[in-house]
Structure 1
Amino acid sequence: MNCEWVRRGDTFFVVQIDVEDDDIYGINPLQLDVEPSITAHLQDGEILRAGLGPSRKQWDKLRVLDELDEGHTRPSGSLFYVPIEQVIVENREALRTDFQRLLEKNIVVRTSTEAGKKITNLPKTDCLSPDAAVDWCLENAEGLRSRHPNEQLAFIAHRYIASRSSAWVRADPDTPIVEVHGIWGLPDGIQFCPFDIWEIHIPTEEITEYTNYKSNVLLLQPNGTWRYQRVRNEVARFQSIGKSDVLDLAKRSHAIASRMKQACHIMWFVGCLDEEGISSNIPWYWTKAHSTENLDRGNYQMTIVKNSSDLSYLGEMKGRYQRLAIVLKPDSVDLLRNNDFLEAVARSVKPLDVPVILEGSTLAHAFYQLTKHGCTVIADAEKDHSRARRQMNFGKLVRDGIPEKIARQQEQHSVATVPRGARLGYLIGKFIEEVLEAREADKPDLRAELADIFEVLRAVSAVSGEAIEDVIAEADRKRAKVGGFDEGKVLITTSLPTAQSSAHPKASRVITGAQIERVGPAAYRVPFSYLGFAEIGQAKVLKFEGVDHDIQITLQRDCVELTMVRHPVQLRLQV
């Protein structure tokens, strides 16, 4: 059960309760088998030709892969082409043999123009058998030749690219931040379904994640069709792409955008397998980056539009609701890439000034088409934050070269300079910070942390007007006189002797830690040595008599946090 609460003063209101069943029929995308569909070696057939070499510059749908070519031997999809003038009845058997031998099953066929030319709504298929692929090609070739007699066209065929997940990535050579939108299953699902978001700062490889609840995924069915399938609730909030793959997509996308010298959106298949079971990520398509501004969501009366017939009711509903919005949830897979459907949506909502609420990615085709047609699109699943790394506040002393290092990593930062007269206070704080880091360090890092402590001592000496060599000499003199700290002696108490007592020390005892000591109803004593034993991030509660609050003291890596915590009380629940 998921509950939403609103608090007013000491009262909590339940505003929504969602009961979740066990979803025994839902799927776990993490347990789905991914069929090998990637090969590194292509060969020509009798009719079908491997989409390599000059053909990648000749045909538009092959040129995309040529533009995404990363210049080394990474695996890619197995694409073949055949000009439509060669698709004739006399070549039926040879074509069937090529489909069977080269692609075997789950064959996808698309129609391509020559590179640089555009013709919309050219025919394409879902997944076909070799026989069905031959029949489709012969049927459509004749129609294409008659409708476009002066155009050079070809069929591009490939085996369905099976992958664990899919992604759209936004990369810009002028910014170090890359944005990844990911979902399980087919990439078309990200057009209208909730998805996960990651932001990656390329120089530091720092990843900020925004995991979403993903209720449905689009998957290939045994009969070659695509269908939405529900995800089990227990895994619907799991990340659809692992961090190592997210980083791989980000770095490679940024390199592609830098090579193209423009911001772009790149579609990826994630977690594809080759014949040996080796996993890889395949870039498949790219477009120039479009604006992805997220508009005000406000409070709207929402109605779901599943198909074109639902659009006929909008005029009537607009008369009843001043703030009406539609939520696009196509009930047919055929509508996912149907530009005619999106144009019909635009024609219906624009005159009524009705915004479109889109659960899918702002990087995908549907968002671009709707905004191109002038629709107001509200990205419901989009995160509410600026496209910049989350600001982190420090306010601590750093080594002199750190700001320059941050600048080289293309991070925004602000720096202040402490006057010499105030520097000692910051150095004392820095000393405590570095000593704590040495305490937490593993053996391989300990020497470097001890060097940081020594560097702080060197700076304290300089600020105080003392040469570090003189300080070391004085330390040696005092060590010879009264010893060092090698034996771990802790002075517990001192007092003047009386006539009945001896001036000799009491028997020594062993202590293993320092504690906060209560010295009054409203007072505690926190020795400096407590900081040496307190665990980072673990709160110690200090209680006070006669008040309904406690104080929590928590040692962090660069500060001590004090938090006032109210005693728990029974709240009234209004239904």
Structure 2
Amino acid sequence: MQIDSISVDQIGQKAFGLSCIPGEWIPSFCVISHSAAIKISGNPEILQFLKQLNWFKNLQPTDHVMIRSSAINETIGERGQLISEQTTVSELQKTLKKCLSETKANGSTIHWILQPKIIQLSMGHLSNERRISKHKRDWLLEFEMIREASKIRNPVPICIRQWREGEFKTPEPLECASSIAIDSILRNPAQWATERMFRIHYEWVWDGKFAWIVQADFCTKVTGIAPNSFLPKSIIKNDSIGLKHFRLINESDFKHYRKLENSKLYSELGYSQPIFYVLDDSKIIGDLLSGKANSSVLSEIETLLKQQALVIRTDVIKTEGVLRHMLPRSDGLGTLDAVIKWFSNELPEKLKLVEYWSDNLIFICHHYIPSLASAWSWAEPKKRVVRIEALWGIPEGMYWYSHDAYEVDTTDIDLSKAALSSSKFRHFERLRFKEWYVAPNSSGIWSHQRTSEPYDWNSTIKDKSWLSEMAITTRRIAEQLGYAVNVMWFLGVHKDASHHNILPWFHHKSEFDTSSLRVAPRFKDPNSKSIEILKLSDWETLQQSSWQEQRTIKRISVSPREPNLIRNDLFVEQLAEFAKQQGAVVELMGGVLSHVFYMLQKKGCIVEIVDPFGTSDESLVFKKLVRDKVPDSIEQKGELVTHIKVGGDQLVKALKAKLLEESIEVMDAQSTSDTLEELADVLEVIHAISKHLNISMKSIEENRKQKRSKRGGFDEGIVLVKTTAPASLSSGLHIDTQAESLFPDGVIVESGATSLEQDIKLHQDDPETQGIKQRLLEIEFPTAPDGQIKRITEFKIMANLEKGAVEIPFKGEWIISRKKAELKVRLLITPTPIQIKLPFE
């Protein structure tokens, strides 16, 4: 089949993706079509045709191959949801039959990729998807944990710039003899895609000699909706004169109804509030709940709807026993029919979850406030830094979705002084990919909307004066109330709805525990099960699953795609209880100021936040030499810096310590780009030492050349294992030459054939000082251990008791680890059980 004639329908998405990239980068493979797979499952003789393939014909029956699904509709969004199976050549028909059976219910046409099994010494992803980077030229390389004990490697950014890379040359195999060079060799697939303006998610494996692309998912542009498209061109002004049943609020209402208390405070702070209407006639409320409202009430509702959609909030006259956060509120209701249905259908169902509400309800109504975005801000009394989390669309308290995070340093803990110097405030931001937000759909229901470009990466708050205003107002509220607060805001308010660009709307006491904040790990445990909840049906399926299956779930990621999950307090409470029972972690894309984070944390659930910008203000003590411009750079980011200057012998000593630190970082470098950075640091320190000791770089280079001429370089990878001095009396004596050797004498071991274990020596002694016996335990280990070292020492201590001396055995476990240039040595001593001697006659 010619490449030009291949289509997705013929071979499936996965195989089509591999067919579109240079063949030098992909393992050999063939595609078994959906119809052929069915025939093979019933007639194994058809497999004989595979022997026509060069890569297949030499395989033995016990050799391993991979069968991978390639459905025609298996897009990047469904990646990993179908089947990949490892099998042997002899078991190929049986495994293929099993794959067909397990995917029968899928209902899709699934073709099958067959390829040889590749040794996976390392594997991961390389992507420039829109969610990863704003620009197609910026990539992220990630490494997967192949097994639980494998060493975690940090992601590596790969930035493709044509002026630096030059034009892409003819594709060549991705030859790579070292895992450290994986990022360097994978620049080639990244550059190839960048030059063609593709967004691709590659999956790769490394077998010790070559890197292979095993999957290439091409990303298509996703259509979204611009947040400003939900703003009306204008809003009709309506004074609502003559309303009888929906009365305007009065001073007494501010005291009685908690949901109006906030509005009162904002008015005092200078924010003009929208018009609120109160419905507190119990008979009319009863009629609305039963769907029997009279014409006068319906007429008033129609009058209110002429201006803008209505939002109706529930409050209670008597608060005792009522969980106020469970009280319902409507979405934006734009028609009379929508208001009637909310009162008579939706509200009674939601009230079933609320106790003590009967004959106790009132309703506070206001017009929907069109705005571009929303935010939560957080401040503590006498604290100068304010946190702000913002997202497009409606200020929905639950906000589950990714957001932008900002921090504003108001520069002074004295609020009055800070308020006078807003021009000096420091602003910091973390912009994220914001794929989803909440806004009204065509029916007025608040539902998830996909963000269009460029808003998905644009800053939600571009005007720094808004940030400063939010920060100082939030601090004022916290100071006035005397406790930490979360404040909800409308941002970019429609000019006809308010003369304020930003408007505080709601606040509550903040009780989240900052000390227990956890960051969601980038690398998940390969032995634990993770699930994602997008729809209510996902949650129901999980609840209905068996107890044994639920026990395996250790991580739950929630990103609602349905209105009935977006603001569902009952779901959050059930989720928290489930996670607690199973010991599972709930992973949130949203922020620490969200109501859902507060609810989950309050219930005792383990919650982890993806990318929790600005959640730590702890002091870091370094006491080490840094580059000359580092203190200024840190101060520009808002941190306070304490530093001193040293000279003479003290400086030389500090430079030598710095050289050791930077050399260890070269040892720890896990990619070529990291190695390049660390080698540059080493060279900079060498330059500094030579300068302060008056040693020219020219003389260092001459000395290097002399040593190379006399002793050689390090080009051939020769490892000196040991030396043995000949002794005159050694003939005839048996010497165990392998006892402490890694290699047989005289053998040259090729790179990759084995690893050099580090030489760890244990020693113990019984010194005596002034008649007191002591026990000395000693361990010798390399200056820069590679990974964690564990060794066991067994020893005995003599104890003098009334009936005589007793030897008590102990076991000591040495645990040595290193973090950059800092060594940590831990000795755990445990008494060993002994058999008591009983005086039997």
Question: 2:459 and 2:425 mapped to 1: Cα distance?
Answer: 18
In structure 2, relative to structure 1, the CA distance for the partners of 1:310 and 1:267 (3 Å cut) is farther
In structure 2, relative to structure 1, the CA distance for the partners of 1:278 and 1:98 (3 Å cut) is same
Residue from 36, 39, 58 that aligns with 2:256? 58
Q: Cα RMSD over matched residues?
A: 4.2
1:19-74 Cα distance to aligned partner (Å, 9 max, x none): 43222x212335553566698988672111223422111112222322443433x2
Question: 2:250 and 2:571 mapped to 1: Cα distance?
Answer: 35
Question: 1:70 and 1:229 mapped to 2: Cα distance?
Answer: 35
Superposed counterparts of 1:13-412, under 5 Å: 19-23=218-222, 25-30=223-228, 32-34=230-232, 45-72=243-270, 74-87=271-284, 92-104=294-306, 105-114=308-317, 117=320, 119-120=322-323, 121-129=326-334, 131-132=336-337, 135-136=340-341, 139=344, 148=356, 152-188=360-396, 191-203=399-411, 204-242=424-462, 243-275=464-496, 278-289=499-510, 290-292=512-514, 293-298=516-521, 299-300=524-525, 301-306=529-534, 307=536, 308-312=539-543, 313=545, 315-317=547-549, 320=552, 324-383=554-613, 386-387=616-617, 412=640
Question: Quick check: 2:394–2:438 contact (8 Å CA) kept in 1?
Answer: yes
In structure 2, relative to structure 1, the CA distance for the partners of 1:315 and 1:251 (3 Å cut) is farther
AA of the residue aligned to 2:425: E
Question: Quick check: 2:491–2:502 contact (8 Å CA) kept in 1?
Answer: yes
1:94-137 Cα distance to aligned partner (Å, 9 max, x none): 32333233343421212101375562343432222452366358
1:422-477 Cα distance to aligned partner (Å, 9 max, x none): xxxxxxxxxxxxxxxxxxxxxxxxxxxxxxxxxxxxxxxxxxxxxxxxxxxxxxxx
The Cα of 1:194 is off from its aligned counterpart by: 0.3
Question: 1:155 and 1:297 mapped to 2: Cα distance?
Answer: 40
AA of the residue aligned to 1:348: F
AA of the residue aligned to 1:295: R
Question: 1:42 and 1:64 mapped to 2: Cα distance?
Answer: 24
AA of the residue aligned to 2:315: S
In structure 2, relative to structure 1, the CA distance for the partners of 1:11 and 1:417 (3 Å cut) is closer
Question: Quick check: 1:199–1:209 contact (8 Å CA) kept in 2?
Answer: yes
Question: 1:155 and 1:277 mapped to 2: Cα distance?
Answer: 23
AA of the residue aligned to 2:518: L
AA of the residue aligned to 2:278: Y
Question: Quick check: 1:107–1:157 contact (8 Å CA) kept in 2?
Answer: yes
Question: 2:261 and 2:237 mapped to 1: Cα distance?
Answer: 19
AA of the residue aligned to 1:66: K
Structure with the bigger RCO (C-alpha within 8 Å, sep 6+) is: 1
Paired position in structure 1 for 2:753: none
Question: Quick check: 1:59–1:154 contact (8 Å CA) kept in 2?
Answer: no
In structure 2, relative to structure 1, the CA distance for the partners of 1:197 and 1:387 (3 Å cut) is farther
Structure 1 stretches of 5 or more lacking a match?
A: 399-405, 420-522, 524-545, 548-575
Q: TM-score, normalised by structure 2?
A: 0.43
In structure 2, relative to structure 1, the CA distance for the partners of 1:208 and 1:305 (3 Å cut) is same
In structure 2, relative to structure 1, the CA distance for the partners of 1:164 and 1:149 (3 Å cut) is closer
Question: Quick check: 2:398–2:595 contact (8 Å CA) kept in 1?
Answer: no
Q: TM-score, normalised by structure 1?
A: 0.61
Question: 1:415 and 1:93 mapped to 2: Cα distance?
Answer: 76
Question: 1:239 and 1:210 mapped to 2: Cα distance?
Answer: 9
Question: Quick check: 1:191–1:367 contact (8 Å CA) kept in 2?
Answer: no
The Cα of 1:184 is off from its aligned counterpart by: 0.2
Question: Quick check: 2:533–2:559 contact (8 Å CA) kept in 1?
Answer: yes
Question: Quick check: 2:408–2:425 contact (8 Å CA) kept in 1?
Answer: yes
AA of the residue aligned to 1:217: Y
Question: Quick check: 2:314–2:362 contact (8 Å CA) kept in 1?
Answer: yes
Question: Quick check: 2:520–2:611 contact (8 Å CA) kept in 1?
Answer: no
Question: 2:452 and 2:482 mapped to 1: Cα distance?
Answer: 42
Question: Quick check: 2:542–2:550 contact (8 Å CA) kept in 1?
Answer: no
Question: 2:593 and 2:252 mapped to 1: Cα distance?
Answer: 30
Moved more, 371-380 or 83-92: 83-92
Question: 1:381 and 1:389 mapped to 2: Cα distance?
Answer: 20
In structure 2, relative to structure 1, the CA distance for the partners of 1:395 and 1:77 (3 Å cut) is farther
AA of the residue aligned to 1:96: L
Question: Quick check: 2:388–2:407 contact (8 Å CA) kept in 1?
Answer: yes
The Cα of 1:263 is off from its aligned counterpart by: 0.7
In structure 2, relative to structure 1, the CA distance for the partners of 1:129 and 1:273 (3 Å cut) is closer
Question: 1:284 and 1:223 mapped to 2: Cα distance?
Answer: 24
The Cα of 1:389 is off from its aligned counterpart by: 11
Question: 1:317 and 1:43 mapped to 2: Cα distance?
Answer: 61
AA of the residue aligned to 1:71: L
In structure 2, relative to structure 1, the CA distance for the partners of 1:387 and 1:375 (3 Å cut) is same
The Cα of 1:226 is off from its aligned counterpart by: 1.9
SS at match of 2:444: coil
Paired position in structure 2 for 1:482: none
In structure 2, relative to structure 1, the CA distance for the partners of 1:211 and 1:343 (3 Å cut) is same
The Cα of 1:273 is off from its aligned counterpart by: 1.8
Question: Quick check: 1:215–1:233 contact (8 Å CA) kept in 2?
Answer: no
The Cα of 1:329 is off from its aligned counterpart by: 2.0
Question: 1:244 and 1:391 mapped to 2: Cα distance?
Answer: 34
SS at match of 2:531: strand
1:257-283 Cα distance to aligned partner (Å, 9 max, x none): 122121101111111124288452121
AA of the residue aligned to 1:112: D
Question: 2:476 and 2:607 mapped to 1: Cα distance?
Answer: 30
Paired position in structure 2 for 1:474: none
In structure 2, relative to structure 1, the CA distance for the partners of 1:181 and 1:305 (3 Å cut) is same
Question: Quick check: 1:212–1:237 contact (8 Å CA) kept in 2?
Answer: yes
1:145-179 Cα distance to aligned partner (Å, 9 max, x none): 99858754211111122110010111112210000
AA of the residue aligned to 2:262: V
In structure 2, relative to structure 1, the CA distance for the partners of 1:319 and 1:373 (3 Å cut) is closer
Question: Quick check: 1:84–1:155 contact (8 Å CA) kept in 2?
Answer: no
Query: What is the number of residues matched between the two proteins?
Result: 410
Structure 2 stretches of 5 or more lacking a match?
A: 1-127, 130-138, 143-155, 157-178, 187-201, 204-215, 412-423, 648-686, 688-700, 703-841
Question: 2:432 and 2:263 mapped to 1: Cα distance?
Answer: 31
SS at match of 2:474: helix
1:503-558 Cα distance to aligned partner (Å, 9 max, x none): xxxxxxxxxxxxxxxxxxxx9xxxxxxxxxxxxxxxxxxxxxx99xxxxxxxxxxx
Moved more, 136-145 or 282-291: 136-145
The Cα of 1:238 is off from its aligned counterpart by: 0.8
Question: Quick check: 1:36–1:277 contact (8 Å CA) kept in 2?
Answer: no
AA of the residue aligned to 1:4: L
SS at match of 1:236: coil
In structure 2, relative to structure 1, the CA distance for the partners of 1:360 and 1:315 (3 Å cut) is farther
